[in-house]
Structure 1
């Protein structure tokens, strides 16, 4: 089997595939959007992922295509398949990560638990949904939203009037505003031949719509909760035909029910803890899966792992200086940076710590605090 993997997208997820690719003898190549992106060490081409000709030219040099993000248009994905390129995950699966309305409809067909939702085309339909759901709801643009973008909590239909006006008659998504106890994420890896493995369900903490911290495994998670989350994720992965890593973002309610929030068909922020806290990281696992190699052991290596994102961050040499200080103060913390120019709220790195839960949380938070500006 040849081991040439092409990654479309040059962000931090592609960057973090480089180390396991080197260790496994995989020839990793990246199609980056611009020069100097996070995955520049493996960027063998620069081009627009929306340009069919550029993507096809890149794909001819590899045996498997996978992704750093889910934004490659369906016509480009279909052109790859028509050209005989092995694409993982394929367009039939990716459509459900690209379009939230399609995702909600397909999850309903699969019987997955999820918030009440509707596709609405005008203010009257949106107001009717609000009136039926306690006067508040969440509206989402079906395509393109991430890290809190394309999401609003509203109490009146006119608060989404601009989105409705911009859709040219296409619907937007409205969901009930779920009263949840906490947010969880469940990761599963699936290879084309069907083998699947699941990681422990984790608790995620969001601030301003951006993931801030992850606790693995999720504290106070009952055996039943862990079993339900793992079973649900495998059912979704199989039902949607996902190959590679799948992250299922979940709400846990006060009575320990879980509801599907969103899906990501790639390595995900909720799985960064696996770099230092699991036998097989999500990045190695994704490469194994898309190459249809036997999947690795997803077991934790310690009682707990805690991941804290570095948001914003210092610039240039200041980042290097602060890394040195953070390591000196917290030598067991593992610091991962993305080579990105900082800006407020932007993910520029993360810190992992493993061990006893409270101690790991203290170390990860204290080390990450060195990068606050």
Structure 2
């Protein structure tokens, strides 16, 4: 507990934009969010007064940070298992726990566990040689079992030469079939330690070069697939013992839905919830890790579109001028910048537009993101 407010003090390991937006949610709840950042210039560190700079892979740093916290949670899945176990051995309440986080950290472990639950997934296999990949079959997707994100650690492979190039990196790999997609979707669920759950509407995620560039809520997939996605979310959250927010990325194919990835934290596919849902994913995550009653996940408008803002080329109008021009042209857009240095292709913020129909909301959101990215 915070000695000044007598309200919970939550520790979040990681100082990126997810921690930054969780801090904003904590303010309205009266809670104190403490952040363990890698650098004082991290997105959350520049706005969160209770920031500690340290190494999330060092058990001593993490244990010192966790002291006195009501609960500790994460804005990424990269904290090593040995550090997570050290926290649990020391009696620190971490949400989600090490046993659950393993399945967000290790794609092979995730695939093995979900296979036992008979959940829908692409055909897959662990591979360690070209002959393994040939036995699996081309074309396929090779994925690093650990450490990949935003398209990193994913390789499209069509022949033995390409497979050998990936295998020579020495990373542990799994192979997955390359499935024909109708669209990519995502579903988020919050789960408390006592087992209460709340599922958000399924959303469409528009991908480019492995990065989500836009999210459309709700997804245009029909009631049957919506119900199936919700069933998958409930099963995964319960069977894996997840606490806090869980995001499940899915492929929609002609034969239904297939699970792609898991993330046990607030997620880019849920940024729309800040304006577009009764309870944002960030507030919901805090409620869940503290075992508070969960808030409503209902939409606040018929359609909500979020567009990521990626860093653009050098030159052009200064950022403040871009913001003013965007606000004048598209007053319905809600802007969130992450306080990051701008580099081409880097996520520096997002915009959200709520409305009555998909096409107009999407046009406005993408146009607003273009203003910030390109200055025109």
- State the Cα distance separating 1:313 from its structure 2 match: 4.2
- State the Cα distance separating 1:18 from its structure 2 match: 1.3
SS of alignment partner, residue 324 of structure 1: helix
Q: Which moved more, 1:353-362 or 1:260-269?
A: 353-362
Q: 1:352 maps to which residue? A: 352
- State the Cα distance separating 1:358 from its structure 2 match: 2.1
Q: 1:127 maps to which residue? A: 134
Q: 1:336 maps to which residue? A: 336
CA contact (8 A) 1:113 1:260 kept: yes
| Separation in 1, partners of 2:91, 2:159 | 49
1:9 equivalent to 2:6? Answer no
Q: Which moved more, 1:326-335 or 1:158-167?
A: 158-167
1:118-174 deviations in Å (ceiling 9; x for gaps): 0011111111111xxxx200000101110000001111133132442343xx74100
| Separation in 2, partners of 1:30, 1:264 | 19
Q: 1:136 maps to which residue? A: 139
Q: 2:91 maps to which residue? A: 84
Q: 1:310 maps to which residue? A: 309
| Separation in 2, partners of 1:358, 1:342 | 29
1:244 equivalent to 2:241? Answer no
Q: 1:19 maps to which residue? A: 24
CA contact (8 A) 1:314 1:371 kept: no
SS of alignment partner, residue 235 of structure 2: helix
1:148 maps to which of 144, 147, 151 = 151
Q: 1:282 maps to which residue? A: 281
What TM-score does the superposition give when structure 1 sets the normalisation length? 0.95
- State the Cα distance separating 1:254 from its structure 2 match: 2.2
Q: 1:225 maps to which residue? A: 225
SS of alignment partner, residue 371 of structure 1: helix
| Separation in 2, partners of 1:45, 1:162 | 40
Q: Structure 1: which 5+ runs fail to align?
A: none
User: Which ranges of 4 or more aligned residues in structure 1 deviate by more than 4 Å?
Assistant: 313-317
| Separation in 2, partners of 1:153, 1:367 | 32
| Separation in 1, partners of 2:312, 2:352 | 16
Q: 2:34 maps to which residue? A: 29
| Separation in 1, partners of 2:167, 2:273 | 40
CA contact (8 A) 2:313 2:344 kept: no
- State the Cα distance separating 1:319 from its structure 2 match: 1.9
CA contact (8 A) 2:202 2:219 kept: yes
Q: 2:4 maps to which residue? A: none
CA contact (8 A) 1:271 1:282 kept: yes
CA contact (8 A) 2:237 2:246 kept: yes
Q: Over aligned residue pairs, what C-alpha RMSD do you find?
A: 1.5
1:291 equivalent to 2:294? Answer no
1:224-262 deviations in Å (ceiling 9; x for gaps): 11111001111001111110000000000124x000000
